[in-house]
Structure 1
Amino acid sequence: MIRTGDEYRAGLRDGREVWIDGERVRDITRHPALKPIIDVKARMYDMQHEAAYQDRLTYVEDNQRKPIFYRPPREQKDWHDKTKAIDLVLKDIGGVVTRVGDETIGEMWSLMDGRDVLAEIDPRFADNIDRHVRAVIETDVFHVSANTDPKGDRSRPPQEQDPDMMVRVTRETDAGIIVRGAKYETASAYADQAFLKPTVGAWSSEKLSDYAVGCIVKMGAPGVKHICRSGFAGKSSPADYPLANRFDEVEALVVFDDVLIPWEDVFFYRHTRAAQHVRATLHRYSAFPYVLRLLYNADMMIGAAMWNAKQTGLDKLQSVREKLADLACYREGINAHLTASIAMAETSPGGLLMPQQSMLYAGRVFACSQLPAMMHIARELCGGQICITPNADAFAAEGSGQWLNKFYSLNDQWQADDRRKLLAFARDLLNSDYAGHRLTFVQFAQAPHFNHLAAVYNSFDFAGPLDFVRKSAGLSDRILGGAER
């Protein structure tokens, strides 16, 4: 059944061990760094119960109302419904959030496609993934993904250094497996559970099999410790940093200190082929909602830059319009890749509707690799005032306010207050610590750029270009066998 925001908050008060800025947090729903983003997720839960949103954020099956984001996609309409739902959510909260569940549940769908691989180890493991996909839908839990290990010295295998640098199985018990190690994860401190999976890329040796583990970890389980980075929320005035104070998604180093994983939560372990399969197919669904967020980032950059041009009267200059057109092309390029990936969607091995992989992964490369340049164009269009404008208190103070209000009022339509608000928004979007953090997050949240390119290479059909050039250049038919190799 769909949850309410209060039910979600109550679930976080489970005694979990969360640290931030050297302090053990007793109630994360009240901590100034965590409360704003928890409230955003709670708002998403509450929207599912409101008449204005319910039919578009949920669906009814077996006489139960369930979340549309967690519904496994089987037809194009399912993807369109998810896209419309995230549009409703982001417009309601007034910003962009990424790690809220819909972009990580796709990794579970990838496991559904690999049931045969899991069944090789133990038929129970394949049954576990079916049961967990159903459980996520039926309980509406906040599900995230535990991905990146500390790794240590990457020139050495984990066995030749502190073995805890990567998550590993240390022993089996009648109740389940025991894992040790650590992962970096966005939103772990305020999520219900995470899909823990390996990050070793090569898997060339069975000696690494202790590290080939995939399972569900409850974020409040004994031995799970969340050591959060310092948050942006609460460190400055919301009037000056409106995005950082509402949408900061806090990451943590999640330590697994001899954590018991019950057998019913294990998908595979000590099985390198399963690990290889997971790494190869991990983002075949989740890349779609991830890239979709960048479309809304583009909208925010276009909106901030266009409003600044209108405020200052520069929107009629051809040079300004050309830069705005560059931003529009970036936005529409993302939109085109997403639209095409669904229009050309394919049936997956597990019977789900999978976005056309080459188009989706190419869209991810386009959206992520071009973001720094697009942010700089937006910065140029917003002008130098985004880095030199005083804070809201200076505008309100009796001594300085009269001068700031004089010089920041542009005309009868655009007075100082609206001018200051736009500049503060643009600064937080493009120039602040929060903006820099978000840029780095985009570059690495679904693996680094070389992995993005590898996904394109592995999903693109090279047969067409090869055959076209073979025929056009008059190459011998003998090369066909070599091309296949």
Structure 2
Amino acid sequence: MAARTGQQFLRGLRDRRELWVGAEKVRSMVEHPALAGAAHALAEVFDLQHRHADDCLMPDPETGEPINVSHMIPGCHADIHRRHRGLERTAEYSVGLMGRTPDYMNVTFAGFAGRHDEWAINGNEQGADNLVRYQKKLRRDDISLTHTIVHSTVNLAKGKYPVGFDPVQLHKVEETAHGIIVRGSRVLATLAPFADELAVYPGGPMPDAAPEHALSFCIPMDTPGLKFICRDSVSVNTNRFEHPLSSRFDEQDAFVIFDDVEVPRERLFIDANLAIYNSVMKTSWWPNIMQQTMIRAQTKLEFAYGLTARMAEAINLAQPQAQQMLGEIAMFAEFARAAVYAAEQAARPYGNGLWCCDVRPLIALRAALPTWFPRVNEIIRLIGSHNLLTTPSRAALADEALRPLIDRYLLGSDIDAERRSRLFRLAWDFAGTALGSRNEQYERFYLGSSARNLGMAHILADRTRANRLVDRFLLEELDEPAALRPAVAAS
């Protein structure tokens, strides 16, 4: 099939998946009022790859057909930079608000296939072969893939991962003639209404878990027994004037129940094999996927900076405190850009011919983002002040009696009343609406909490030079130079 168009993507969503929004079992992801805006936004992402084919498409290495560049298995520096252009185009479409556009999973599985040798240890050669075949299908059919990798939270006193056998968590039940039966639950399937298939793979090692929990596979969203329970929608309606972001960028999040789901044997990548499950994410996953995640974050920060600066200009807000806050967002955006640049410039082989970014600057950025994004939202609210709440609707602007008064009394210092309303509505939708709150919560835990990431930054830090600088003083001889010794009086 090769790279799909938006219409082809929308046709693919007309399946029989069991997906619930509130009390309603959704019959059509494309037409449901809580989902239609994001469905058509994702369709625009698929169309975008054709409009910007030079950046977004590349020939399949085996068939030559056009595929999205996010499916690339990088093998050199040039590949890393080539992939950057395509990832940036996708991030710009939603200004970084959609964290799970299909390129996220495309990059993930390209990395898995690039290190298929890591999946083939401990007798798992068939699982590794299945994974490589699936990655080819993923790229050639241009599948929209989501994942669910987090264990359901029941009792954190027992830890984040299963200890022994836990019937609540996803697990293998039995073998069948064609595969295995799985049962249990997982979170958080972001993009569930708009994905064609669902991936399960390790979110982290489970050293004390029973082998039945060690699973990895991909299955269609309408597989019998698979159930998705979505959170409340934050997509108010499809009015892009009044809700420019929430009308189209609510990618949704779902709790996943596996109610005796059969996984075909050819779709199994890990089958109750703890040794594989606990090892495959340790080397190349972070340095590979964080190129996509941090390009998205950088894009979102640059949008937030531009948006906040435009608000300040619209009301001629030039006090030193406002300038400092604007500089704060500019600093965040520049640090993000510099971290991505440094990581890509220092990219290197990570085994089996796969090239990934230098993980060090990305680990530092990962630790900072959960605090930066809430601060950005706070600054937008402070700069915007009451102006965020004085935004006439399209209906008010269209009223013949109201419009002249609005034009007179709600204009900005350099823009008319309508553009002012659009600007401050855009800022409120970014930072203050239900979408803004969901995205702030998402950013706090998107790649782990700030506390966890700071701890990992310390654990993973290369202390070679730091130790050398300290050891210079701890290991030197302490005898004072002769010139500094007190003079001895002559006898």
Contact 1:103 1:287 in 2 (8 A): no
CA distance 1:68–1:109, shift in 2 (3 Å): closer
Question: What CA deviation, in whole Å up to 9, does each residue of 1:41-88 have, x standing for no partner?
Answer: 2222223334xx222211124331111111112222222223222333
**Of 395, 407, 410, the match for 1:408:** 410
The one-letter amino acid of 1:362's match is A
CA RMSD between the two structures = 2.6
Where in structure 2 are the equivalents of 1:220-231 lying within 5 Å?
A: 220-231=222-233
**Of 188, 191, 196, the match for 1:192:** 196
CA distance 1:302–1:154, shift in 2 (3 Å): same
Cross-structure match for 2:481? none
CA distance 1:244–1:58, shift in 2 (3 Å): same
Where in structure 2 are the equivalents of 1:69-148 lying within 5 Å?
A: 69-91=70-92, 96-112=97-113, 113=115, 115-148=117-150
Matched residues in 1 for 2:295 and 2:103: separation?
A: 11
Where in structure 2 are the equivalents of 1:3-18 lying within 5 Å?
A: 3-18=4-19
CA distance 1:160–1:272, shift in 2 (3 Å): closer
CA distance 1:90–1:370, shift in 2 (3 Å): closer
Contact 2:369 2:444 in 1 (8 A): no
The one-letter amino acid of 2:184's match is G
Q: Does 1:313 align with 2:316?
A: yes
Contact 1:171 1:177 in 2 (8 A): yes
Q: Does 1:60 align with 2:59?
A: yes
- CA shift, 1:189, in A, is 2.2
- CA shift, 1:406, in A, is 2.8
Contact 2:148 2:198 in 1 (8 A): yes
Matched pairs, number: 470
Deviates more, 1:192-201 or 1:210-219: 192-201
Matched residues in 2 for 1:408 and 1:286: separation?
A: 45
Contact 1:341 1:357 in 2 (8 A): yes
Cross-structure match for 1:32? 33
Matched residues in 1 for 2:395 and 2:301: separation?
A: 30
**Of 285, 289, 292, the match for 1:289:** 292
Matched residues in 2 for 1:44 and 1:410: separation?
A: 34
Cross-structure match for 2:184? 181
Question: What CA deviation, in whole Å up to 9, does each residue of 1:326-347 have, x standing for no partner?
Answer: 2111100000111101111121
Cross-structure match for 2:339? 337
- CA shift, 1:117, in A, is 4.7
Matched residues in 2 for 1:464 and 1:161: separation?
A: 41
| TM-score after normalising by structure 1 | 0.89
Contact 2:73 2:111 in 1 (8 A): no
Matched residues in 1 for 2:133 and 2:19: separation?
A: 29
Matched residues in 2 for 1:399 and 1:475: separation?
A: 84
Contact 1:223 1:256 in 2 (8 A): yes
Question: What CA deviation, in whole Å up to 9, does each residue of 1:347-404 have, x standing for no partner?
Answer: 1123211111122111211233222122222322223321454544444445655544
Matched residues in 2 for 1:451 and 1:111: separation?
A: 24
Cross-structure match for 2:44? 43
Contact 1:285 1:354 in 2 (8 A): yes
Does the residue aligned with 1:227 lie in a helix, a strand or coil? strand
Cross-structure match for 1:479? none
Cross-structure match for 1:448? 449
Matched residues in 1 for 2:468 and 2:408: separation?
A: 68
Cross-structure match for 2:173? 170
Contact 1:195 1:216 in 2 (8 A): yes
CA distance 1:475–1:26, shift in 2 (3 Å): farther
Deviates more, 1:417-426 or 1:111-120: 111-120
| TM-score after normalising by structure 2 | 0.88
Question: What CA deviation, in whole Å up to 9, does each residue of 1:64-122 have, x standing for no partner?
Answer: 11111111122222222232223334445667422112122333244342624533132
CA distance 1:278–1:397, shift in 2 (3 Å): farther
- CA shift, 1:236, in A, is 7.8
The one-letter amino acid of 1:56's match is D
The one-letter amino acid of 1:165's match is V
Deviates more, 1:21-30 or 1:98-107: 98-107
The one-letter amino acid of 1:59's match is M
Contact 1:151 1:165 in 2 (8 A): no
Where in structure 2 are the equivalents of 1:418-429 lying within 5 Å?
A: 418-429=419-430
Q: Tell which structure's C-alpha radius of gyration is larger.
A: 2
Does the residue aligned with 1:286 lie in a helix, a strand or coil? helix
Cross-structure match for 1:323? 325
Deviates more, 1:393-402 or 1:78-87: 393-402
Matched residues in 1 for 2:337 and 2:120: separation?
A: 35
Cross-structure match for 2:156? 154
Of all paired residues, the percent bearing the same amino acid is 22
Cross-structure match for 1:483? none
Matched residues in 1 for 2:399 and 2:254: separation?
A: 39
Matched residues in 2 for 1:339 and 1:285: separation?
A: 14
Where in structure 2 are the equivalents of 1:248-259 lying within 5 Å?
A: 248-259=250-261
Where in structure 2 are the equivalents of 1:353-392 lying within 5 Å?
A: 353-389=355-391, 391-392=393-394
CA distance 1:146–1:455, shift in 2 (3 Å): same
Deviates more, 1:58-67 or 1:249-258: 58-67
CA distance 1:159–1:420, shift in 2 (3 Å): closer
Contact 1:304 1:382 in 2 (8 A): no
Greater fraction helix? 1
Contact 1:106 1:283 in 2 (8 A): no
**Of 234, 247, 258, the match for 1:245:** 247
The one-letter amino acid of 2:377's match is M
Contact 1:97 1:249 in 2 (8 A): yes
Contact 1:2 1:139 in 2 (8 A): yes
Contact 1:194 1:219 in 2 (8 A): yes
Does the residue aligned with 2:247 lie in a helix, a strand or coil? helix
Matched residues in 1 for 2:469 and 2:164: separation?
A: 50
The one-letter amino acid of 2:323's match is R
